[in-house]
Amino acid sequence: MSDRKIKVVVNGKPYEVEVSDPMASSMKVTVSGKAYDVEVETEGVAAVVKSAPAAPRPAPAKVTPAPASAAPPPAARGPDKEIRSPMPGVVLDIAVKAGDKVSVGQQICALDAMKMKNAIRSPIEGVIASVDVSDGQKVSYGQVLIRFE
Amino acid sequence: MDVSRLLVLLEAPLQLTWQNAVMMAVGGVLIYLATAKDYEPLLLLPIGFGAILTNLPLTGVAGPDGFLGILYKAGISTELFPLLIFIGVGAMTDFGPLLENPKMALLGAAGQFGIFGTLMLALWIGFPMNEAASIGIIGAIDGPTSIYVSSKLAPHLLGPIAVAAYSYMALVPIIQPPVMRLMTTEAERRVRMPYTKREVSRLVRILFPLVVTVVVSLIAPKASPLIAALMLGNLLRESLVVERLSNSAQNELNSVTTLFLGLVIGSTMAGNQFIQPTTLMILGLGLLAFVLDTFGGVLLGKIMYLLSGKKFNPLIGAAGISAFPMSARIVQRLGQEYDFENFLLMHAMGANAAGQLGSVIAGGVVLALVAGIV
């Protein structure tokens, strides 16, 4: 994966940044056209800027992948620690349970919408705290499927 | 016993031409694609069988008194079969995603670009107007519409046109993605579009088929039978009070008609008529029509991407064709390939439903325009 758009909040001020590979421990980050070398210390939560040409200094920053669109609806994604249903549908093939450790991109479950099975994958690395839906359950848009610890 | 009497048994084999043999092989290939590859089996299987049957000499099945000939007169010459199928298609189609997002109707128009682009090209190559229009209508990517229009304008081309329309429809998942990739940048393909929730009331859902029927019939009277059949089916579905009729239209009526339609289309594939340079041209132009449709849809998608301030994913434009819901699924799949958290499905379904509508209207427009010329 390359060039992921990520929203970084520094002291309450949001920045749109592009990241070469959000899972690498050391990554190239572009903020408003300026390139930084960023090292991630703990599972994509705290980031330390190694060599920044100038301010803004996004460290330590909370790294939250966010939709690229400017105004995501509040229900589209929780602030962090959960996966919500991206559209109405029926949950199938739940592949995880509470306590499981999942990696980025790992399939959590499938969502059957308009007679098409769609893979729901984990956007972050973490441990699952609870699975809030069951196989065959009808879910609405924005409903919480999984919570992380 | 007189030996010459035994020659009667050889009569049919002796009349078998190489063209017959080739078309029987083509029928075999269609049946193979249906059974082994699962390519539109509901259609390709009866078409393949019809093609084999019609190329057996002296059987008379496709003649005026043969059972396929009678079906042809009853269902194709009268345009009855495509219309009956449309009642089923209308009952199967959920126009909800389009009603939630009416601007998708634009994409349903852009996805018809292939019809008119191919029509122009066919005219330029030298096809007469009625044939060019029938070939262009392959770009409706809609079997019943193609059959309806070509049986009116150029019935002698029905076989190749129907075969092109149905076999390329099965190939939509292969034809569309390269065009979509070619026309978009990776950043465009990654544009996320969150689901936009909008409840569509039952009243709107019931009014929609009625209003569309009246408005389209007034604008393009020639499209009226097609659009009316489609909308009647949709009304059966959305009224929620005639579930039995809706189910019958979707299942029994649709299955029976599809079986007859497939057999009859197969019966138009007689060797001496089918094996001609024209057929190859039609197959080539038909493929081009599919590509141009995708091109037109994605192009408008890109314009909407720019106008929306880069919030519209241009891939959705590719779903503005009639292959429902296949094309919307392709958009969803391709979008997820680049960003697994991007769910374009519901938006693409809106465009796809619009494409379904657009192709029918385009068919009527072509009929009206050409009827005025020929």
- Asked whether the predicted pLDDT for residue A72 surpasses 50, the reply is no
- Asked whether the predicted pLDDT for residue B109 surpasses 80, the reply is yes
Look at residue B196 in the predicted model and tell me its pLDDT.
80
B246-269 pLDDT per residue, tens: 999 999 999 999 999 999 999 999
Q: How far apart are CA B279 and CA B134, in angstroms?
A: 13
Contact B19, B272 (CB under 8 A): yes
pLDDT band per the 50, 70, 90 thresholds, residue A28: low
Q: How far apart are CA A113 and CA B87, in angstroms?
A: 24
Full-model pTM? 0.78
The alpha carbon of B10 is separated from its chain's Cα centroid by a whole number of angstroms, namely 41
Residue B127 distance to chain A (closest CA, Å): 41
Please return the burial class of B237, using the count of CB atoms within 10 Å of its CB with bins 0-12, 13-18 and 19+: buried
Chain-chain contact of B340 with A86 (C-beta, under 8 angstroms): no
Residue A87 distance to chain B (closest CA, Å): 6
- Asked whether the predicted pLDDT for residue B29 surpasses 50, the reply is yes
pLDDT band per the 50, 70, 90 thresholds, residue A3: low
Cα nearest neighbour of A107 on chain B:
B340
Q: State the count of interchain CB pairs (< 8 A) between A and B.
A: 57
Of B192, B197, B332, the CB nearest to A118: B332
State both tokens at B24: 């029987």
| Stretch A37-64: mean pLDDT | 47
Q: How far apart are CA B114 and CA B98, in angstroms?
A: 22
ipTM: 0.72
DSSP-based helix, strand, coil % in chain B, nearest 5: 80, 0, 20
Q: How far is CA B22 from CA A15, B164, B281, in A?
A: 66, 17, 18
- Asked whether the predicted pLDDT for residue A127 surpasses 80, the reply is yes
Chain-chain contact of A118 with B349 (C-beta, under 8 angstroms): no
Of A72, A73, A118, the CB nearest to B343: A118
Average pLDDT, chain B: 93
Look at residue A47 in the predicted model and tell me its pLDDT.
45
B311-364 pLDDT per residue, tens: 999 999 999 999 888 999 999 999 999 999 999 999 999 999 999 999 999 999
Residue A73 distance to chain B (closest CA, Å): 7
Within chain B, strands assigned E span: none
| Stretch B153-172: mean pLDDT | 91
Q: How far apart are CA B366 and CA B133, in angstroms?
A: 7
Q: How far apart are CA B259 and CA B239, in angstroms?
A: 28
- Asked whether the predicted pLDDT for residue B89 surpasses 80, the reply is yes
Of B193, B328, B332, the CB nearest to A69: B193
> A57: closest CA among A66, A68, A48, A65?
A48
* Interface subset of A 55-114, CB within 8 angstroms of B: 65, 67-70, 72-73, 76, 86-88, 105, 113-114
B280-320 pLDDT per residue, tens: 999 999 999 999 999 999 999 999 999 999 999 999 999 99
Look at residue A34 in the predicted model and tell me its pLDDT.
64
Share of chain B above pLDDT 90, in %: 80
B173-215 pLDDT per residue, tens: 999 999 999 999 999 999 999 888 778 899 999 999 999 999 9
A116 touching B (Cβ < 8 Å): yes
Chain-chain contact of A114 with B193 (C-beta, under 8 angstroms): no
Look at residue B321 in the predicted model and tell me its pLDDT.
95
